[in-house]
Amino acid sequence: MGIIETAKNGIKTFDAILKLQKNVEQKVATLGRRGVHAQSLINHLYQNPVLNSAAAVELLKVSIPTAIKLLGDMENLGILVETTGNARNRSYIFQDYMKCFFND
C-alpha cells in the first residue's frame, strides 16, 4: 500500500469517527442527567473501547447498580454491545468505533 492509499484510508477512518461521534452525542443527549456520566464513559471508550461494570464504577465513582443501569442504557441505544452473554460480570465493546478502523 502506497502513501496515497494510506492517506485516503486515514481520511476515511477520520470521517467515520467524526460521523460516529456526532451520532453518539445525539444518543447520549436522550439520557438526560445520566448523559454526563455517559459522556465520561464515551470519552474513555475512544481510548479503550472495551469496558466492564467494575471499570465503569471506578471511572465514574458511582455505585455498581448505577453503572450497570448506565451500561444497559448505552447498550439499548446501540452505543455499546455486550460481549459475554452472561447475566453477571458483563463486558461491553464500543463496536461501531472499532468498525471505523476496519473499513474496506
Give pLDDT, residue 82: 96
Torsional sign, CA 36, 40, 64, 79: positive
Give pLDDT, residue 19: 97
Q: What is the CATH number of domain 7-102?
A: 1.10.10.10
Q: Does the pLDDT of residue 103 top 70, yes or no? A: no
Q: pLDDT tens across 2-40, in order? A: 898 989 989 999 999 999 999 999 999 999 999 999 999
Q: What is the mean pLDDT of residues 62-82?
A: 97
Q: What is the mean pLDDT of residues 72-92?
A: 93
Give pLDDT, residue 45: 97
Core vs surface per residue 20-49: b (16+ CB within 10 A) or e: beeebeebbeebeebbebbebbbebbeeeb
pTM of the model: 0.88
Note whether 78 and 27 are within 8 A (CB). Answer: yes
Domain boundaries, the chain: 7-102
User: Which residue has cell 475512544?
Assistant: 46
Q: At 82, which helix (H) or strand (E)?
A: strand 81-82
Give pLDDT, residue 86: 85
CA distance linking residue 64 with residue 30, whole number of Å: 22
